[in-house]
Amino acid sequence: MSSENIAFSELNLSQPVLNAISKIGYETPSPIQARAIPALLDGKDIVGLAQTGTGKTAAFALPLLSSIDTKSANTQVLVLAPTRELAIQVAEAFQSYASELNNFHVLPIYGGQDMRGQLRQLKRGAQVVVGTPGRVMDHLRRGSLDLSNLKAMVLDEADEMLRMGFIDDVTWIMEHTPENRQTALFSATMPKEIRRVANTYLRSPEEIKVARESTTGSNIEQAYWMVSGTNKLDALTRILEVEPFDGIIMFVRTKTATVELAEKLEARGYSAAAINGDMNQALRERTIERLKNKSLDILIATDVAARGIDVERVSHVINYDIPYDSEAYVHRIGRTGRAGRSGKAILFVAPREKRLLYSIEKATGQRIEAMKLPSGDTVSAARIDQFLQQITDVVNGEENLSFFDELLAKYSREHDLEPEAIATALAYLLQKNRPLQVKFAEIKPERERSRDRGERGERPRRNNNRGPEEGMKRYRIEVGRNHGARPGDIVGAIANEAGLKGRSIGQIKLFDSFATLDLPEDLAPAQTKKIASLHVRGQQLSLSEDRGPMRKGGDKGKAKPRKRKPAHG
Ligand code: AMP
In this structure, is residue 437 part of a structural domain? no
In this structure, is residue 170 part of a structural domain? yes
432: three-class secondary structure by DSSP: coil
Q: Looking at 178, 209, 240, which one is the last position of a domain? A: 209
Q: Is the pLDDT of residue 569 over 70?
A: no
Q: What percent of the chain has pLDDT over 70?
A: 89
Q: Which residues pair with 79 in a beta bridge?
A: 130, 154
Distance 184 CA to ligand 1 centre (A): 18
User: What pLDDT shows up at residue 453?
Assistant: 40
* Shared-domain flag, residues 336 and 388: no
Q: Is the pLDDT of residue 204 over 50?
A: yes
Q: Is the pLDDT of residue 399 over 70?
A: yes
- Return the ∠ at Cα 357 (arms to 355 and 362), rounded to 5°: 95
Alpha carbons 215 and 419: distance in angstroms, whole number: 59
Alpha carbons 518 and 484: distance in angstroms, whole number: 20
Residues 6+ apart with CB under 8 A from 447: 228, 351
Is 13 within 8 Å of 62 (Cβ atoms)? yes
Q: Which residue has the higher pLDDT, 324 or 154?
A: 154
| Mean pLDDT computed over 84-111 | 94
In this structure, is residue 316 part of a structural domain? yes
Nearest residue by C-alpha to atom 22 in ligand 1: 253
Confidence band (pLDDT; 50, 70, 90) for 558?
very low
Nearest residue by C-alpha to atom 18 in ligand 1: 26
CATH number at residue 354: 3.40.50.300
Confidence band (pLDDT; 50, 70, 90) for 325?
confident
| Mean pLDDT computed over 508-517 | 86
In this structure, is residue 49 part of a structural domain? yes
Sign of CA dihedral 430, 436, 442, 445: positive
* Shared-domain flag, residues 365 and 478: no
Q: Looking at 154, 183, 209, which one is the last position of a domain? A: 209
User: What pLDDT shows up at residue 481?
Assistant: 81
Residues 6+ apart with CB under 8 A from 525: none
HEC secondary structure over 223-291 = EEEECCCCCHHHHHHHHHHHCCCCEEEEECCCHHHHHHHHHHHHHCCCCEEEECCCCCHHHHHHHHHHH
Q: Which residues of 135-147 are buried (b: 16+ CB within 10 A; e: fewer)?
A: bbbbbbeeebbeb
Q: In what order do the strands lie in the sheet with 128-131?
A: 106-109, 128-131, 77-80, 152-155, 182-187, 46-49, 206-209
Least confident interval from 147-151, 197-201, 269-273, 484-488: 484-488
What single-letter DSSP state applies at residue 103? T
User: What pLDDT shows up at residue 340?
Assistant: 67
Is 197 within 8 Å of 171 (Cβ atoms)? yes
* Shared-domain flag, residues 266 and 347: yes
| Mean pLDDT computed over 196-210 | 93
Residue 112 is part of which domain span?
A: 8-209
**CB-based burial of residue 118 (10 Å sphere; 0-12 exposed, 13-18 middle, 19+ buried)?**
buried
* Shared-domain flag, residues 202 and 239: no
Q: Is the pLDDT of residue 258 over 60?
A: yes
In this structure, is residue 2 part of a structural domain? no
Report which ligand 1 atom has the smallest distance to the Cα of 30. 19
Report which ligand 1 atom has the smallest distance to the Cα of 8. 19
| Mean pLDDT computed over 314-337 | 90
Q: What is the pLDDT of residues 294-303, one digit of tens each?
A: 999 999 999 8
| Mean pLDDT computed over 143-154 | 97
Confidence band (pLDDT; 50, 70, 90) for 9?
very high
Pocket test for ligand 1, best of 57, 227, 352 (most atoms within 8 A of CB): 57
Distance 244 CA to ligand 1 centre (A): 31
Alpha carbons 360 and 370: distance in angstroms, whole number: 14
User: What pLDDT shows up at residue 305?
Assistant: 85
Of the candidates 43, 371, 42, the residue with the CA atom closest to the CA atom of residue 238: 371
455: three-class secondary structure by DSSP: coil
Q: What is the pLDDT of residues 461-488, one digit of tens each?
A: 333 446 777 788 899 999 888 787 888 7
Pairing of strands 206-209, 247-251: unpaired
Least confident interval from 28-37, 106-115, 228-237, 432-441: 432-441
* Shared-domain flag, residues 294 and 187: no
Q: Is the pLDDT of residue 135 over 80?
A: yes
In this structure, is residue 215 part of a structural domain? no
Confidence band (pLDDT; 50, 70, 90) for 309?
confident
Of the candidates 457, 447, 445, 455, the residue with the CA atom closest to the CA atom of residue 494: 457
Number of alpha carbons in the 13 Å side-chain half-sphere of residue 500: 25
* Shared-domain flag, residues 361 and 420: no
* Shared-domain flag, residues 172 and 99: yes
In this structure, is residue 89 part of a structural domain? yes
In this structure, is residue 70 part of a structural domain? yes
Alpha carbons 378 and 436: distance in angstroms, whole number: 11
User: What pLDDT shows up at residue 546?
Assistant: 84
Nearest residue by C-alpha to atom 12 in ligand 1: 55
CATH number at residue 463: 3.30.70.330
Q: Which residues' Cβ are closer than 6 Å to ligand 1?
A: 26-27, 29-30, 33, 52-58, 253-254
User: What pLDDT shows up at residue 430?
Assistant: 86
Report which ligand 1 atom has the smallest distance to the Cα of 28. 19
Alpha carbons 531 and 542: distance in angstroms, whole number: 8
The structural domain count of the chain equals 4
| Mean pLDDT computed over 430-448 | 71
Alpha carbons 499 and 508: distance in angstroms, whole number: 18
What's the one-letter identity of residue 474?
Answer: R
Number of alpha carbons in the 13 Å side-chain half-sphere of residue 511: 17
- Return the ∠ at Cα 97 (arms to 94 and 98), rounded to 5°: 80
* Shared-domain flag, residues 412 and 283: no
Is 467 within 8 Å of 412 (Cβ atoms)? no
Confidence band (pLDDT; 50, 70, 90) for 339?
low
* Shared-domain flag, residues 189 and 235: no
Alpha carbons 318 and 374: distance in angstroms, whole number: 16
* Shared-domain flag, residues 360 and 271: yes
* Shared-domain flag, residues 299 and 329: yes
8: three-class secondary structure by DSSP: helix
Distance 136 CA to ligand 1 centre (A): 26
Of the candidates 443, 376, 459, the residue with the CA atom closest to the CA atom of residue 228: 443
* Shared-domain flag, residues 356 and 277: yes
Q: Which residue has the higher pLDDT, 403 or 534?
A: 403
Q: Is the pLDDT of residue 222 over 60?
A: yes
